Chain A
Amino acid sequence: MSTQTKDVLRLATIGSVDDGKSTLIGRLLVDTRQLFDDQLDAVAAASERRGVGDLDLSFVTDGLRAEREQGITIDVAYRYAATPTRKFIIADCPGHVQYTRNMATGASTADLALAVVDVAAGLKEQTRRHLCIAALLGVRNLIVAVNKMDKVEWSQEAFQRVSDQVHSASQELGFASCEVIPVSALNGDNVVDRTSASSWYSGPSVLEALETTHAGDPETNSQGARLPIQWVLRQNGGGRTYAGMVNGGTFHVGDTVTLLPAGIETTISALRLGGSERSEAYAGLSADIDLAAETDAGRGDMIACAPLPTVTREFDATICWFGERPMSAGQRLRLKHTTKSTPARVVSLDGLVDIEHLTVASADGLSVNQIGIAKIACADALVVDDYQVNRATGSFVLVDEVSNATVAAGMIGRPSFL
């Protein structure tokens, strides 16, 4: 891969209710002209109908009837923006604790978190909680917009106070980068264009920071390429091709690979993307791989380059519990990991994470929206990496066998800050 930044950057917005998160995204979209005239007209009409001023920018992303009635974000809204350098996929995440599952949904695929903090209120508990969940979900890079600077007359002192809080939290949670920017989302200052109001600030605007960040660049996560087999394509001549999405690194034709869990070593004889022959396939691409050895591998098996993942039936994991009924030791669930599903059991619940103090205490059960450390056993062997090394091969979901609801998100291992 080149040293160019990614063509597509996925980001998740986080922050507490009323700090102006949806307004910031609305402003970002309006000022980069991502919104069409008729969409803006619709926002203006809705604002007027609900008596909230000329143009309530949060209506740009709060699209559900209940959200507009209650003035809150319930679920993730996905928005798209493109500038001459990059395309952005923006997951605008809800702030309320009861919608943590939705925030986690948005953050799980994000390369970067864009947090919004009200300069007058400082770093609230809910925002800390969200930063913690983002860090837990492996988001390594952070941009923080310190918002409502117009209300404190662009006081550098007020900004510095919040900036210090943010940097200390970021350090504690192990973020690799943290850019803190003073903004007024309402007026658009430092969102797309820099403002003259903050003569003491010489850093980038939010958009400039988003356009230049190296978050999620492929070369920063080359820890051994993996391809969990999704589908076996039978070639007309009788050969077998393994199809799936590459993660964790880059595969090349001629690479020595190991087929797991069988442990068969072979080489890649051909590689295709969307039907055309290629010499390499990097993370995020769906590749069709031909192997030199004849094998009977199928869905749920994995093709991997060194350093190899682990084959195991039992592991420790960090669990975000979403089920209405608490999770407890002994519980049986269905587990989905990469392209494999297996019956699984909670062997033991080894701790409840205190998000405020980043400590682990003992507990009998995990309630909805709580995070814990547990030992999980599976009926079938899984091919896993630690989540901190590889998000795709280190993650799983737990499914209720009766309702089929997704009741938990799991990450193999535990984060460094716990």
Chain B
Amino acid sequence: MSDFLRLEGLSKRFATTIAVQDVTLAIARGEILALLGPSGSGKTTILRLLAGFERPDSGRLRVDGEEITAVPPARRRFGMVFQHYALFPHLDVGENVAFGLSALERAGRDRKVSAALELVDLAGFERRKVQELSGGQQQRVALARALAPEPRVLLLDEPLSNLDPTLRERTRRELRGLIQRVGITTVFVTHEQEEAFDLGDRVAVLSAGRLEQVGTPDELYERPATLFVATFVGRANVFRAAAARAVGGRDDQVVVVRPERLRFADAGLPGIVKERRYTGAAAFYLVEGDGGERFEVLADPAAARVGERVYVEAVRTITFAEPDR
């Protein structure tokens, strides 16, 4: 994999908190990378470091071999789509899109503006006011504005968080299709696993300023590198001590089992079904084990009843050494 964009040992601290600590990442040309993490994990700070709005305390940034750590945002040639789009309210759609093209002569600029608007399916919107647009249209104008100057890298800050939930899934697909058509190297920030999996080729999981793991969605789900990744990405039941032994691990291990990898059996971890949540094809059963531990089983809707005594066994487990912290 050829590394196009490299983050090398990037660290950034604010007055009292460490926002980003020693993050190293390589992103291939044309790749879409998701930065996934809970709030406060440092993902937005990494995006702002990439854009040049923040300067790292240590570490380096390279794009296509060129070091850009100290290059100001205006000369970085990175396109950015902001969470709330940051469209200029005093300019119309066309002027917004043309903002980054000011060096060109007029005719060339107009041509690029209409090409960019066509790309996001807003052909002919040049003279519209940005306030008159719907949220989805504003997002696409922001995207056209960021892409018009033909940046080297596209950065997206929570690109779908401002959209209606019903609109999100469709927009996600359209966004991915568009990025792939342009073929631009893209980094985006999200706190939603589904969004990261759907939109990203690879996902970088962050926690407390540290990079926990980078990988494809499958890798993260099937082979999480840390307990944090195992529990943050996808649903996970965590078993310790005696319960860990009962599902096939050892006392000194932490065993993580996905709900769909647990099943009701004749023997195994004993417990009582406390709740049943029907989802159509299957049902989630909340089980309380005899040791007091609670876990979820995804099974056939008719597999068990609330109040029933059950035994649970694990089909596949992910094990970690018990951290001695």
The answer on A and B forming one complex is no
Where the two chains meet, the residues of A that have a C-beta atom closer than 8 Å to any C-beta of B are: none
Where the two chains meet, the residues of B that have a C-beta atom closer than 8 Å to any C-beta of A are: none
